[in-house]
Structure 1
Amino acid sequence: MTNKQRIENLETYLLSVLDGTEKGKLPSTLRVFMQGLSWIFAVIVQLRLWLYKHRIIRPSTLGCQVISVGNLTVGGTGKTPVVEVFARNLQEQGRKVAILSRGYKSKELPFLEKMIQRITTGKIETPPRVVSDGQRLLLDSWTAGDEPYMLASNLLNVAVVVDKDRVKAGKYAIKELGCDTLILDDGFQYLKLGHRLDIALVDRTNPFGGGHLLPRGLLREPMRNIKRAGFIFITKCGEQGEPELKEQLRRMNPHAEISECRHAAKFLKDVFGDKTYDMDILKGMKIAAVSAIAVPESFEKALRAFGAEIVYTRRFADHHRFTQQEVINTINLSIKRGAEAILTTEKDAVRFPFVDRRDIPVIYMRVEIEMLSGEDEFMDWISRICFKSPSIKPDQAKAKKKAAVEAAAILQREKEKVKPSAYSQV
């Protein structure tokens, strides 16, 4: 077993301890120990916020519009599609947008190169990684990280820049790429860069992170801190919305606009080619569901909702980077279980290495955000950010979205040019 597998197994075990799945003396003891650590963590979190609030620690300012999109829990809120729709709407209203991401689990600078920099300059200083300059896709998913790569692949005329230091990334986006609007991807807790607006996402399936802060629960900070948000998205809603949860959030934050949305499957696409399929083909189909996301249950539930019969399920740790052998093994096991196709998520698809096997289709599901309530308020909010009035109405926004889909074909061609380098990293 490799070190990566040991870490992923430990991560999976700890998550099962947190949600109470694991029973026995050891898990119970671990939960008590983690609760103590949570109390310490809560004090540190609140102290840090107090220091920034009272300007004892001062955030950096870059002289342009900075908006954060994030959440109060770790993983699984469906943030990437929201960032995508938000960036697209800003760009369509005339802003030059850059998304700043830390590039979770992206490829680090090689050790030898780090040492050469330290010897020659006395420090390690690398420029931000430009995943897309808004016109071309410049990096593969291995180097960029799966979420930045996915955003860059789907957004035309929006830059995507990766660096743990997002102040440095923001300066680069402004100076070198001419951007005037910065979106902090997963930026609700990133206080180092001053931002004017906060968008907070709340996952309807687990809105309060189990009620505990890390490491006992999934909360990054107390839920009451959602009062910092100017706009709240309730994600993964049902058809009728979530009126009770909306009312709870309204009591916590009486000033924010609140929108309910859902992640709607739009089409299926071949992972290793350009072929697309309608969602209707899933009805009655025997499939294998393969994923490496924080909440695989929501993906599998969506497949069943379209009438698919899941005959084989394989779940990996969140952000797992697949090897060729794992893909081959999955294909073989899926065929053995009688599956007619392998289904995965778009986020996972960018981490699939190329395999020259066509025994069974390997397909990902394209998901986009659909607003169930608050669409007019959202568009008005976008217009205020862009200093435009009146705002674009929903029917106009849909027309623009259709045009953007057609334009995205240009970026798709660039994506295919970059793809082979991603497959070479196994």
Structure 2
Amino acid sequence: MKFYLRPFSFFYDQVVGVKNALYDRGVIGSYKAPVPVVSIGNLTVGGTGKTPITDFCLKQLTKAGFKVAVVSRSYRAQANAPCFVDIKKENAAAYYGDEPVLLAKANPAVSVFVGPSKWRTVQYACSENSFDLIIVDDGFQHRRLQRNLNIVILDATEALANYEVLPEGRARESWSGLQRADLVLITKCNQASNEDLAALEAKIPEGKEVLHFAYDLQIFRNLGTGAELTRDQLQDKKFFLVSAIARPDVFEKMMRDVGSVAKNSLHFRDHHPYTAADIENIVIEYKKSQSEFVVTTEKDAVKLQSLLMRPEMFWAASLQVTELGHKGRLYEIISQLLRPTV
């Protein structure tokens, strides 16, 4: 660990604590939306699996007939004002952001909005249409927006040392922040040891409800033809991986459960804006690796697809989210916000 950074982490944590105290005491005001708001957030800076959980919730809510909107920040994207995500726009992922476009493509019945400020984007979304519920992606630290349900995600594969506050670790705030959570979700439980899972659960405040989720790669979709192959069909193949995500190590581990992974696989910075030069380098390295398949994530696929001259070379690994234990409990908790009061 970077112990020499601990004084800076202490100072950062104190500043965050003061900010939260000012909101808790009402010194700083916050916006209350006219509809229920659910925040899906985390303690660390990315890589916990928020987008798959958001997608999981959206599919259940829309199946039940609810009209849902998603609000996200236009992080490392071109959109500089609140706007609706139009997936037909040229280079949509670069303009709106990769994760918002991925969610919009995967959930056509859902309205996705992005903007530089989440509370202003929620305000804009409510002015554009009426919704039963708004889900705010990565909203736990965004105190300017009131929410009816605070969901916090913890990654079972994240080393506990990484939960030290920035810059020593990857946490935006200390474990005490979990006191504000209404519900804690632990993701990638099937990728972690029982010992690591128990150590993580020990950090959760007593009395908080905890749900567990497993993440698996089961389906692989061809970016050119749309054809699909199952995990079993790719068993023991060699893969060249391409990704720009916060935790490429987890992606690699999951792919090693399927087959072998080329040592020269390419991993870019999270949310990296791919270029034609990147594609050329990817193809060169793929040929060197003598791999049978080029595999990327669904999040990367929305950015890569428009740049590829031969999209049929690439396959996107589809993540399957499974609720462990009491199945349907997450939907049950969220839907309670939508039941009419008598």
Q: Same-fold call, TM > 0.5?
A: yes
CA distance in 1, matches of 2:89, 2:194: 40
CA distance in 2, matches of 1:273, 1:330: 20
Report the more deviating stretch, 240-249 or 284-293: 240-249
In the other structure, the counterpart of 1:216 is: 168
SS at match of 1:173: helix
Structure 1: state its 5+ residue gaps.
1-19, 21-27, 110-125, 390-426
Distance change (3 Å), C-alpha of 1:317 and 1:263: same
Asked if the contact 1:282/1:308 (under 8 Å) is kept, the reply is no
In the other structure, the counterpart of 2:293 is: 341
Shift of 1:108: 4.6
CA distance in 1, matches of 2:19, 2:259: 48
In the other structure, the counterpart of 2:71 is: 100
Structure 2 residue 20 is matched with structure 1 residue 49: yes
Paired residues for 1:362-381 under 5 Å: 362-381=314-333
SS at match of 1:226: helix
Asked if the contact 2:40/2:54 (under 8 Å) is kept, the reply is yes
CA distance in 2, matches of 1:388, 1:155: 25
Paired residues for 1:212-361 under 5 Å: 212-238=164-190, 242=194, 245=197, 249=201, 252-310=204-262, 312-352=264-304, 353-357=306-310, 361=313
CA distance in 1, matches of 2:201, 2:235: 37
Shift of 1:252: 3.3
Deviations along 1:144-192, one digit per CA (max 9) or x if unpaired, are 1000010101013111000122222112222212223111100000110
Asked if the contact 2:113/2:125 (under 8 Å) is kept, the reply is yes
SS at match of 2:307: coil
Distance change (3 Å), C-alpha of 1:251 and 1:269: closer
Asked if the contact 1:74/1:220 (under 8 Å) is kept, the reply is yes
Distance change (3 Å), C-alpha of 1:66 and 1:336: same
Distance change (3 Å), C-alpha of 1:266 and 1:388: farther
CA distance in 1, matches of 2:217, 2:29: 42
Shift of 1:242: 5.0
Distance change (3 Å), C-alpha of 1:243 and 1:380: farther
In the other structure, the counterpart of 1:6 is: none
State which of 166, 169, 174 in structure 1 corresponds to 2:118.
166
CA distance in 1, matches of 2:291, 2:200: 43
SS at match of 2:77: coil
Amino acid in the other structure paired with 2:44: T
State which of 69, 75, 86 in structure 1 corresponds to 2:57.
86
CA distance in 2, matches of 1:41, 1:239: 31
Asked if the contact 2:100/2:112 (under 8 Å) is kept, the reply is yes
Aligned length: 339
| TM-score, normalising length: structure 2 | 0.91
SS at match of 2:190: coil
Distance change (3 Å), C-alpha of 1:274 and 1:69: same
SS at match of 1:268: strand
Structure 2 residue 30 is matched with structure 1 residue 59: yes
In the other structure, the counterpart of 1:116 is: none
Identity level (%): 29
Deviations along 1:307-354, one digit per CA (max 9) or x if unpaired, are 244353111111111111211221122112211221111111112142
Asked if the contact 1:282/1:303 (under 8 Å) is kept, the reply is no
Shift of 1:254: 2.8
State which of 74, 78, 84 in structure 2 corresponds to 1:130.
84
Q: Which has the larger radius of gyration?
A: 1
Shift of 1:279: 1.9
CA distance in 2, matches of 1:244, 1:374: 22
State which of 327, 332, 335 in structure 2 corresponds to 1:383.
335
Report the more deviating stretch, 68-77 or 232-241: 232-241
Deviations along 1:53-109, one digit per CA (max 9) or x if unpaired, are 111112111221011000001111011000111122223333321111002111155
| TM-score, normalising length: structure 1 | 0.74
CA distance in 1, matches of 2:6, 2:199: 29
Distance change (3 Å), C-alpha of 1:311 and 1:62: closer
Amino acid in the other structure paired with 1:296: P
**Higher share of residues assigned helix:** 1
